[in-house]
Amino acid sequence: MAKIFCVANQKGGVGKTTTTVNLAAGLAKVGQRVLMVDLDPQGNATMGSGVDKRAMALSVYDVLLESASVAEAAQWSDKCGYHVLGANRELAGAEVELVEVERRERRLKQALAEVADQYDFVLIDCPPSLSMLTLNGLCSAHGVIVPMQCEYFALEGLTDLVNTIKQVHANLNKDLQIIGLLRVMFDPRITLQQQVSDQLKAHFGDKVFDTVIPRNVRLAEAPSYGLPGVVFDPSARGSQAFVAFAEEMVERIKKM
Ligand code: ADP
Ligand code: MG
């Protein structure tokens, strides 16, 4: 049965999408069956997985509104080696349309249950907000992966997310836990980053992943080619770090 993970952080630009597509590609590379779900109306994870968000017949929007199943709406990305349940601007409307329906925060969970035996991992790229869309992600998941930059306000920003996760855990999804904090865009030459990294480990212990993702321009260039860095340039330092992270995740789920 698939293990389902949300990649979440309510801040924008912290590396959620980069983490989602590169972890998906890394997991595929080490032989895992992966479904990537884009829950952000910007559709960056969709485009970054080689799927044109403007040309999709069906998307995660149709799944949330129960007009399509995951099996119908997901597409195989041949270049990336995983399935993509894509998103585009249409998804922004789902927030409003779901207001009226019952169990609206459990739509994705129900839909994913039908395909759980077809994957080892489902990775959900969340939007930069604690919205109904993110709530659908958190209700579906076994765990949350939190990418973060080792900057001064990083810990402060975590409080809201940690509180939301606690509430979802208590009221909606008792499986939910923070799997780990992933240090991304890391530059060891910057003393402050090293200090924040040490603080994170002191505070959160083994909730901090061993793998560190370096700042690497190849990871930033890859989306303009419609590919995760892991596929675009496998030899880049950032890509190798994401493959190592995929291996770390495979080990972690053995203990779950
Ligand atoms: P989010 O999804 O949280 O908004 P993104 O994954 O889109 O964040 O990342 C924000 C920007 O930072 C993007 O331009 C991305 O290419 C760049 N980026 C992310 N991770 C790295 C990295 N490790 N090295 C260099 N650039 C990165
Ligand atoms: Mg994003």
Q: Is 22 in the pocket of ligand 1 (CB under 6 A)?
A: no
Nearest CA to ligand 1 atom 26: 220
Q: How far is the CA of 215 from the centre of ligand 1 (A)?
A: 9
Q: Is 226 in the pocket of ligand 1 (CB under 6 A)?
A: no
Question: Would the ipTM clear 0.95, i.e. be above it?
Answer: yes
Q: Is 183 in the pocket of ligand 1 (CB under 6 A)?
A: no
Nearest CA to ligand 1 atom 13: 220
* Percentage of residues of the chain with pLDDT beyond 70: 100
Domain ranges of the chain: 3-254
Separation of alpha carbons 155 and 12, rounded Å: 15
How much is the pLDDT for 158?
A: 85
Q: Ligand 1 atom closest to Cα of 221? A: 16
pLDDT tens digits for range 64-121: 999 999 999 999 999 999 999 999 999 999 988 988 888 899 999 999 999 999 999 9
Of residues 16 and 97, more confidence is placed in 16
How much is the pLDDT for 66?
A: 94
How much is the pLDDT for 103?
A: 87
Q: Ligand 1 atom closest to Cα of 215? A: 24
C-beta separation of 183 from 194 below 8 A: no
State the ligand closest to the CA atom of 127: 2
How much is the pLDDT for 102?
A: 84
pLDDT tens digits for range 181-199: 999 999 999 999 999 999 9
CB neighbours of 63 closer than 8 A, spacing ≥ 6? 69, 70, 73, 85, 107, 108, 111
What CATH architecture is 3-254? 3-Layer(aba) Sandwich (3.40)
Q: Is 17 exposed, middle or buried (0-12, 13-18, 19+ CB in 10 A)?
A: buried
